[in-house]
Amino acid sequence: MIVRKWTNNQRRIFLDTAQLYGVFSHTIRESRSFRGGMHWKTAKGRQYLFRTRDRNGYGKSLGPRSPETEKILAEFQEKKNHVRERLRSVQERLEEQARICKAVLLSRVPRTVTAVLRVMEQGNILGKNIMVAGTNALYAYEAAAGVFLDAPILATEDLDILWDTRPRLKLLGDESVKARGLMGILKKADRTFSLMNKGGFRAVNRDGFMVDLIKAEPRKIVQKDSRRMGEKGDLEAAEIRNLQWLISSPKFQHTVIGDDGYPAMMPVPDPRSFSLHKIWLSRQPDREAVKKQRDREQGLTLARMVIRYFPQYSFNSSELRMFPKEVVEDAVLQMSQFDLPAGLELPDF
């Protein structure tokens, strides 16, 4: 597998972009406190300061008109205008930075993927019980390592969204996200997305790019988890065996750059967990032969990356106790074929 390190200039530009996107995300979160508005409302001949929270006009009264409520309104408008101007300024800087990222060849991830990730983040659900699984996750790992993976290993026409539906983890997005579900998020990112089949787990856009919603298979046959984020008509998650290994692993996320030059935050499974899971998949007798070969290549490539570029991670860590011992041992056996420099050999397990 060919792995190319970033140049010093690429590292600098990436860090600048990630920092700028961090400011953008923070400002977006700050702007949530100014949703709706504040205005005077007359009732029974008196004016009251009314704070609306959504487009439907729901809200509450902050009291009758007085010097105190007039001050509250003035401060609210001033802060809201300040946040709006800061957001506009950061957006302009991101446009310029996007052109730079494209010029230095940092633009990697399909723009549909980064668009979906940004809408999820703004809907306040990304990284809480939602993460990216499958081939696209490799973009986060290569960005964290500061390297480029060979293109064929990254080629894919779909995005796997892994949803953790464990009861103690609830969907924490705003009410509009809860109502529209994943389909609403996808349509906001790209209005051409539509369900492939009624009650199915897959949506597709006009370019043929697919998004799959997946979840771990319940441990108990009689156990029933939610399969939709939103109301009827939303995607219904496909249940897949042993995905609990990924959702139970330590959290990992990193900034990635879309092929249009614009960044997004991508939450993914712990790189060791992703590697172990891919190697396990490649050993399953009911897995298609072509997919097994690709799984093995991705799993072993990432394992090599972890050993070389992520010294803070260890494959014999207690953090991987969610995996059966035999799965880890088999993966280590596969990794033992690596030709590594002295001091980088795999430890005894």
Least trusted range by pLDDT, from 26-40, 167-181, 281-295, 302-316 = 167-181
Predicted local distance difference test score (pLDDT) of residue 319 = 85
Q: Residue 75 pLDDT more than 70?
A: yes
- pLDDT tens digits for 90-138? 999 999 999 999 999 999 999 999 999 999 998 888 877 899 999 999 9
Q: Which of 19, 76, 24 is nearest to 53 (CA)?
A: 76
Alpha carbon 218 to its chain centroid, in Å, reads 23
State the burial class of residue 236 (Cβ atoms within 10 Å of its Cβ: 0-12, 13-18, 19+). buried
Rounded mean pLDDT, 253-265:
97
Write phi, then psi, for 189 (nearest 5 degrees): -75, -35
Distances (CA, A) of 323 to 113, 241, 349: 29, 13, 14
pLDDT band per the 50, 70, 90 thresholds, residue 231: confident
Predicted local distance difference test score (pLDDT) of residue 271 = 95
Predicted local distance difference test score (pLDDT) of residue 117 = 96
Q: Residue 175 pLDDT more than 80?
A: no
Predicted local distance difference test score (pLDDT) of residue 190 = 94
β-sheet bridge partners, residue 94:
none
Q: Residue 341 pLDDT more than 60?
A: no
Distance CA 253, CA 114 (A): 13
Distance CA 279, CA 294 (A): 10
Predicted local distance difference test score (pLDDT) of residue 180 = 75
Distances (CA, A) of 131 to 126, 191, 243, 246, 270: 7, 22, 12, 10, 11
- The H or E element that residue 253 is part of is strand 251-257
Predicted local distance difference test score (pLDDT) of residue 347 = 47
Contact 265, 127 (CB under 8 A): yes
Contact 161, 182 (CB under 8 A): yes
What are the extents of the domains in the chain? 19-103, 107-268, 270-349
Q: Which of 308, 269, 307, 265 is nearest to 5 (CA)?
A: 308
Q: How many residues does the structure list for the chain?
A: 349
Distance CA 254, CA 318 (A): 23
Distance CA 272, CA 307 (A): 10
Place of tokens 């007039």: 70
List CB contacts of 280: < 8 A, sequence separation 6 or more.
Answer: 242, 327, 330, 331
CA atoms within 13 A on the CB side of 294: 15
Sign of CA dihedral 81, 82, 83, 87: positive
Q: Which of 300, 324, 322 is nearest to 149 (CA)?
A: 300
Neighbour-count burial for 266-288, b at 16+ CB within 10 Å, e otherwise = bbbbbbbbbbbbbbbbbeeeeee
Q: What value, to the nearest 5°, has the Cα angle with vertex 214 and ends 209 and 216?
A: 160
Rounded mean pLDDT, 315-332:
86
Q: What is the dihedral of CA 184, 262, 17, 29, to 10 degrees?
A: -20
Predicted local distance difference test score (pLDDT) of residue 339 = 58
Rounded mean pLDDT, 201-205:
96
Predicted local distance difference test score (pLDDT) of residue 346 = 47
